[in-house]
Structures are given as structure tokens and as C-alpha cells.
A and B are shown apart, each in its own frame.
Chain A
Amino acid sequence: MSVSTTSHRVEFQDRAKKALQDASLQRALAKARGGFVDHRQDAIDALPEFDAIRDAARDIKNHVLANLDGYLELYEQQVIENGGQVHWARDAEEACQIIAGICKDAEAKTVTKGKSMVSEEMHLNPVLEEAGITVVETDLGEYIVQLAGETPSHIIAPAVHKTREQITDLFHEHHSPLGYTDRVTQREALVNEARSVLRERFVSADVGITGANFLVAETGANVIVTNEGNGDLTSCLPRVHIVTAGIEKIVPSLDDLSVLLRVLARSATGQEFSAYTSLYSGPRRPGDMEGPEAYHVVLLDNGRSRLLGGQYQPMLRCIRCGACLNHCPVYGSIGGHAYGWVYSGPMGSVLTPLLNGFDQSLDLPNACTLNGRCKEVCPVRIPLSDLLLKHRVEQHERRLSPGFGRFLLGAWAWLACRPRLYQGVMALPLRVMHMLGRRRGSLTWLPGASGWTGSRDFPAPARRSFMRQWRSRKVRS
């Protein structure tokens, strides 16, 4: 599959370092941090049943995954019954071809898109653009990112890394030729300008492409959840509506959907419910005065079916709320782009190696403190930090981790299994470090861990270890 950036150890480290030094990125991240966390907490404090609902949400997802083939068939039957078409894509390239084909058949010149992470995963926009189609992202955040020639840095807040000043510059550059020559800087004015520019796009688009937060087997509907209404304008106005979704997005019934909706918005933005939750099924019905003439669903596998039944299956429960990103100290420090692919934060660090290849993203499962906050906040109880640890085990067992590190670790572990020897061997370095750090109480430079001492001191150790002191105390007494 085509990947925008491969992620080797060095590349991740470089990107992370750049991100840490990017002043405007850091300003934007600092502004976003805390807001998501506090809002979510408030929403959850107001819902005593939250944990019970999370359990139910997890169980529904588990049930679907255990019966995914059956539910996909039932869902497909409903879509067909509603007059829509279902397409199956084994990988990103196949999905892009299918979508490009539909657009070509519809003689589409302009495509509007609602925010769809799966279409980012497919790398769809360049394929359509190559086919001569103008692609317009309509989620305000995605639109900003598209103008900047970038990719989303957060699955629910794609432009979280952009400051208002940067957005002002982008709008001025791209909207001036359209007649918006005044440079607007206030949030309200920026939103109004985008509304006005995109309004023209909405009403003139030939094809609308949206993602799906859920696919309901009961009715054959795709569900999209937004606050802006862009997904609805994308679904309702063009002649053709294409839905892209991973195969794991199925929920059995509308009642099951309710359970998941109750955790989605609260986890994502701390809202009880998003402004717009819409269910679209099939093309316009006979007698309808508007709506698309054709309705296509493109179901993407792209490695998901292989994950079923294995140790990473829980990852397929993910509903893409972004809570794990918002609560991750690493994500909060570097933003999404450093992760090198569409999915970032803890869910990205678990998913990217699985969908993109282990050896392509060796850093991701390791660049984590295993603090477990992601697991704690996950609305479908995905044990994210445990899955990251499983990745590390797999890297170790497949000998993908760096050789020198493995050697050091092995030597240390060998020693740690021999406590008496360990206690003897540790005595000398301990004493040296103690001497070096005694005056200050800490060391400002530590051989072998100069990274640590780059940003903080290393507190000086004791002169003698506890075990030695304890023994002499016992001997004395």
C-alpha cells in the first residue's frame, strides 16, 4: 500500500524533535491541552451510568467482531434493499480504484468530502485529483489542513496543530483569488468566510464522500456524527453519495447504536451529544424531492480481517473518539504528524504497525511511558497500553528491536537473576556516581544516559546500596 511517510526509528525521533522545537505547534498544542480532558471529565461526572454504558459498548463491539461476517452480510442485504450498492475493497488501492471509478462514471468534476479517516488511510485525495477531480474537504479542520497541503494531526480535530495566525494566513492566501480580499483574523470572521466559500462547493458538488462512525445492520444506514453539519450537506446535496468505512464499523441495531453514541461524544469532546447525528441509507426514495440518485458504500478491509481472533482484536473496537490522544502525554507533546501516518496517539501506535507493517513503525509502541491513561479513558475499554506492550514483545521475539539494546538488556537481566553478584557488581558504579554527584546532590551529565541529563539532572545515588547497609546493620546487631 502507499504510505505517505515510512517511520523508522530515526525518522520518528527526528519528527518528534522537530515537533518539540516547533514554537507555533507547541502554542497550538498548549491551547488544546486540558480543554478536551476537562470537558470529558465534566461530561462523565454528570453521567453515573458511564462505566456501565462503556461495558455495554465494549460487549456490543465484541459481539459484532465475533460475528462480523454474518453482520456484514445482513448489513449488505439492507443496503441493497434500500437501493444502494456495496463494494468490498481488500486494500487501500482497491478502495481508491472503486471510488475513482464511481466518480468517473458519474462524470464528476467536484467532490465534497466529510471528514473520513478511512479515506485518509486510503490516501484517496491524490488518486481523485490525479483523475482530474477537484476534491474539497468540508470539515473546517480538514479544510484548513487541505489548504496547508498537510494531513490531519488529530482524528477528531484535524487542525488542532494550527494557530489562528496560521489559519488567517492560509485563508488570506487561498480566498483572496475568490474575492475575499480582506484579511480576517477573528475566529467568528474566519468561520464565516469558510462557511461562505464552502457553501458554493456544497451546492455545486457532483459527488459527496463521507465516512461512517457506524454502519447499522438493522436498517442499512451509515451514521455520521458532526457538529458542523458538513457531513450532512455532503450526504444530501450531490447526485452521488459514497460512504467509506472500515469493515469493523457495524453495529447490529439502533438500540446498540444508542449505547455507542452515548460514549462517543462524551469521550471525544465532552459533549453529551454532538449537534448532528445522521443516519443515511440508500439513495433518495421514490417521491423524494431531493437526495442523491445513487448511494455507494465502500467497505475497506486493509488488514482488519487478519486481526480478528488474534491478540490485537480489541483494537477493532475503536470508535475513533480521540480520547486516548487527548490524554496521552506523548501526543500532547508532539501532536499527530510525528507519528507518520493518519492515526496518531495511542490508538495510532497500536494500529499503524498492524495495518502498515511492524518493521515500518518500530518506534511507535516504544515511544510510550505505559502510564495507562489511554486505557483508562477508552470508551470501549481497549487495553491500549497492554496492546502496546504486546507489540514490544512481538518486536523482541521477532528480533526487530535494536541489537545493542537487546544485548545490554540481556546482560542486565542475567545479572538481575543473580542477586549476590548483582549487588557486588553494582557497588563500584554506585560509589563513582555518588562521588561525582555528592557536592550538587545530582549529576548534570551521566555517561550512557546523556539524553536523560540533557533536560534534567540525575539525582546522585547513595554511597552504599540498601542491601549492603542492611547486611552490615544486621551483622552489627
Chain B
Amino acid sequence: MTETQIDSPIKVGLFVTCLADLMRPQVAFAAVALLERAGCRVRVPRAQSCCGQPALNSGDRASTMNIAKGVIRAFSNDDYVVVPSGSCADTLINKYPDLFRHDVKWAGRAQDLADKTFELTTFLVERLGVELEQVSYPGVCAYHDSCSGLRELAIHQQPRALLQQVQGLSLREVDDGSACCGFGGLFSVKYPDLSGRIVGDKCAQIAQTEADTVLGGDLGCLLNIAGRLRREGSDLKVFHVAEVLAGMTDGPAIGEAESEDKA
């Protein structure tokens, strides 16, 4: 880790994301660890729940704006806001300013938030230029690029650059890797047959890489992929990239049972 920022710690607010909060707290702990090791002072405002995507993607702008105002307020004093999800970061960075485009009072504040918000791996690579040390993960990993992160925030090289520093880890690219995994938030519940079919295809392509682990930067996709792999009886492990980077892979992977000896 770089030590240069110790003198004047960067104040970072962590936007946990609702999925990390409820489904996989370890992702948020990993994000905190990574940021703290990089010399940041991490704050987790209590006044946060979700970025509002379920409402936004259902066409409910009014509800989304209400949620967004809470997020904007909660992080108004942080230098940076870091999000361990490309899709939620995209909401804060691109969707909030668009929502408040015509709102004199909030447009500026939404833009301020957008300007200081970063997806986790992007922040680590592009803002902090971190160098990991003494992290290892003995595995062959397939990286799944999530759609919002990839297309709206150009997240592609950042996680790979970090993973290259992990000892024992080798990366495999998935064929047609930029294809969606079929999650799509509420889509996966409203159109489960379609969603299930698409994630089936994705898992087949992941299996072709002969990797033993699937990594990604968005829990939505990872829950979807892990759920499908579990159903198929596959023993592929699924982790959020932050967990691997922070060395927090001793416990069960996403969707995996706690092993008896550890429990």
C-alpha cells in the first residue's frame, strides 16, 4: 500500500449499496479495509439504504428523487464517495444529475455528488494508484464485467490491474464477456424465465474457461451467477473482487454453505 497519504488522510464516505448491506456485508468490510490500507479515513453514514435503482428502472422518477436526496445529503461532507458496485456508482454519477437536470435547487448538489463519486476499483487504481502487497488467492479466476460499470463507467482494466497484483491468481477471459448475465434488477423477478435462461448461457460460457472462481464488481450479477451455479451443482466459487483484493476469502463464497469445521 502507498503510505503517502498518511499525513492528510482522504476522507471517504462509503456507499455500502443495499445488496452488500443485506446480502454480503463482507464486501463492504473488504472495501473499508482496502480504503483504510490505502490511507483513507472511511466514514459510513448511517442515513443510507439504497441508491434507488429499483424505483428508477421501474420508471418511478419521483421516488428515486426522494431516495437520491437522502443520499446526496448523507454524503455532502465527504471528499469522496466510494461504491463497491459499478451499477450503483453509475446511478450516483450519471443518473442523479440527469434526474435533477431541471431542479434549480438540487441540480448542483447532485452534480457535486456525481463529481466525487467513484466505483471502488476505479478509485483504487485511478485516484490512489494503490499497490497491493501480500495478498494471495490461489485460483484461476474468470472476471465478469457488469454491464453498467463496463458501458457507463468504462470499468474494465481497473479490476484486472488490481487482480494482477494478487499472488497465485490467474485470470481468464470469458467468451463474449461483455454480454449481460441476465440479472437486470427487478427484471430477474419479473421475467424469471428469460433471466434464468440468460444466466444459464453466461454460466456455460464461464464454465468453458475452466476457471475455479468467478469474480465481479457487482453483487447483483454475482448473486445471479452464484445462484445459477449452485442450482447446477457447480463447485465454482463466486466472490466480489473486493473480497479477493482484501484477502477475505477464507469464509464461504457467495451462495456457498459454511464448511463444518469453520462453523
A contacts, CB < 8 Å to B: 13, 16-17, 20, 34, 37, 327, 329-330, 332-334, 366-373, 375-376, 389, 391-397, 401, 405-406, 409-410, 412-417, 419-420, 422-423, 426, 430, 438-442, 444, 449, 451-462, 464-467, 469-471
Contact = CB atoms under 8 A, between A and B. Distances in A.
Contacts of A417: 49, 63, 66-67, 70
B66 A459 contact: no
Contacts of B21: 465-467
Interface of B: 16, 18, 20-26, 28-29, 44, 46-50, 52, 54-61, 63-64, 66-67, 70, 74, 147-148, 151-152, 176, 178-180, 182-185, 187-201, 223-224, 226-228, 230-231, 252, 254-258
Given A372-B151, A426-B22, A34 B196 contact: no
Contacts of B20: 466
A232 B21 CA distance: 62
A457 B67 CA distance: 30
Looking at A332, A423, A460, the one whose CB has the most chain B CB atoms below 10 A away is: A460
Given A441-B258, A456-B196, A372 B22 contact: no
Contact of A441 (B190, B199, B201, B255): B255
B190 A20 contact: no
A455 B184 contact: no
A430 B21 CA distance: 11
Given A329-B182, A454-B196, A466 B16 contact: yes
Given A20-B193, A372-B151, A456 B227 contact: yes
A464 B223 CA distance: 17
A474 to B, nearest CB: 8
B189 A470 contact: no
Given A417-B70, A439-B257, A455-B228, A409 B24 contact: no
B28 A370 contact: no
Contacts of B197: 20, 333, 455
Contacts of B24: 459, 461-462
B184 A409 contact: no
Nearest to A454: B192
Given A368-B187, A453-B227, 15 more contacts: A329-B198, A371-B184, A372-B152, A392-B59, A406-B60, A416-B52, A417-B49, A419-B74, A441-B255, A441-B257, A455-B195, A455-B199, A456-B228, A459-B23, A459-B24
Contacts of B60: 393, 396, 406, 409-410, 413
Contacts of A467: 16, 21, 44, 46, 48
Nearest to A38: B176
A396 B59 contact: yes
Nearest to A422: B49
A459 B226 contact: yes
Looking at B26, B50, B74, the one whose CB has the most chain A CB atoms below 10 A away is: B50
Nearest to A17: B193
Contacts of B22: 426, 430, 461-462, 465-466
Contact of B184 (A370, A401, A423, A426): A370
B185 to A, nearest CB: 8
B257 A395 contact: no
Given A376-B151, A409-B54, A449 B189 contact: yes
Contacts of A392: 57-59
A205 B66 CA distance: 64
A401 B24 CA distance: 31
A321 to B, nearest CB: 19
Nearest to A409: B58
B112 to A, nearest CB: 20
Given A373-B151, A419-B49, A367 B57 contact: no
A466 B24 CA distance: 8
A410 B52 CA distance: 11
Looking at A395, A452, A467, the one whose CB has the most chain B CB atoms below 10 A away is: A467
B59 A397 contact: yes
B192 A423 contact: no
A187 B224 CA distance: 40
A455 B200 contact: yes
24 contacts: A329-B201, A330-B198, A370-B184, A370-B185, A371-B148, A392-B59, A396-B60, A409-B55, A413-B52, A413-B55, A413-B64, A415-B49, A419-B47, A426-B22, A449-B192, A451-B191, A452-B188, A455-B192, A456-B227, A459-B23, A459-B227, A462-B25, A462-B26, A465-B21
